[in-house]
Amino acid sequence: MDNYKNLKQSVEAVVVGNDFLSLFIAWQLKKNGTKVAYIEHKDNLADFYSYQLEDMPPHKTTVSPARLLTPAKSLNDDLKTWVKEYFNLNLTNEKLTPQTFESGSFKDFHGFGKRNFAASEELSFYNDDEWVFGLDNLADFKQNMKIDLREDHIEKSQITNIEFSNNKVEAVIINEAKRLSCDSLYFCNSPKDLFQLAGDQFSWNRKFKQKIAKTSFWSTIELFFTHNNLSAPAYTPYFLMGTKDDFDPTVGYFNTPTQTPEGQMQKSAWVYLANNEQVEDEEALGQIIKYMKKQIKRAFPEAFEDLLYEKILITPQHQAHIEDLEMDGFLIPKSPNMYLIHPSLVGGLEWPSTLSLCKQFTTSPDLLKAHVEPIA
């Protein structure tokens, strides 16, 4: 739904998020008979820094839902089995040796050693020699979910307030103008965003709030390119960094090249983990993006000579691990109808965490039957 003003006055469930997880939660609820509104909550930074170089056909610009490589160690056998059964995806493992670029040549990457990077612990998740392939096929499933939710999907909007009565969510305010009453709220953005929206209107459990407040969240800065007439090794994980530790490493890879009338086209994806202060500072953010491109160009001098497409995606407060957070399933303490479902509750990389939460949600009958009578 492009125009949020056409939205209904009330629904049974509001789902807030902007990723595969939130889309999946909304789709699951609707599939089970719940009257749902999926609000694709967008951050202004993401819109401000996202652009493409020219009008390109979708097949040249589409970003896979599994945007970066996923190490095999991050997906256990039970989760792989569920992915196979639920999405009908055959995931395979492949040996790949991570590389870095030093002194004008590529070398095997064995770790950061004595380098003092702020995000080295989180980035070390990517340091593996075995990787999972097949998650790219979730793109079709994602598209089908969007089609199923097309009448219930409010795009590029923001939740600007949440209304409570005795700690029970009664409504959300969209774009400071539209009031949407609801029986339940499923919040899939950063928990810290929820704190800002609910504020003092909600009587938070003290330990719950302190645990989240003390957790350091990392914001992701992702660069996506479509290169022309470039032939870089496909799917090799790269850890690119300068000689100083004032910037963190850039991690990324190239897809398999494809032949087009314009030449040999090859896509690539790169990520940088930044703290929230850096993301909120436009100058600091610009310097990081410039640094990322510099490291890519240093390793691949021809990468930007004939660039067809560029997208920059900023996701504030995206990655963290909140340890030992006491919740009844996904229900927030002291709330009868507000749920928190975010990858930080599981920790680790985005996709293993996302799939783990999707699995938990599908195997939680109380969540799926919260708004409808069980089917006889």
CATH topology agreement for domains 4-42+158-215+324-368 and 47-134+218-319:
no
Residue 79 has pLDDT above 80, yes or no: yes
The DSSP annotation for 117-181 comes to -TTHHHHGGG--SEEEE-GGGHHHHHHHHHHHTTTTEEEEE-EEEEEEETTEEEEEEETTTEEEE
4-42+158-215+324-368 is a CATH 3.50.50.60 domain: yes
- What is the residue extent of each domain of the chain? 4-42+158-215+324-368, 47-134+218-319
**How do residues 163-214 score in pLDDT, each as one tens digit?**
999 999 999 999 888 999 999 999 999 898 899 999 889 999 999 999 998 8
Angle at 210 between CA 207 and CA 215, to 5 degrees: 130
**How do residues 339-349 score in pLDDT, each as one tens digit?**
999 988 887 67
- Average pLDDT of the chain to the nearest whole number: 85
Q: What is the pTM of this model?
A: 0.87
Amino acid at 121: E
Element (H, E) at 6: none
Other C-beta atoms lying within 10 Å of the C-beta of residue 247: 19
Element (H, E) at 203: none
47-134+218-319 is a CATH 3.90.660 domain: yes
For 274-300, what is the mean pLDDT? Answer: 93
Residue 336, SS3 per DSSP = coil
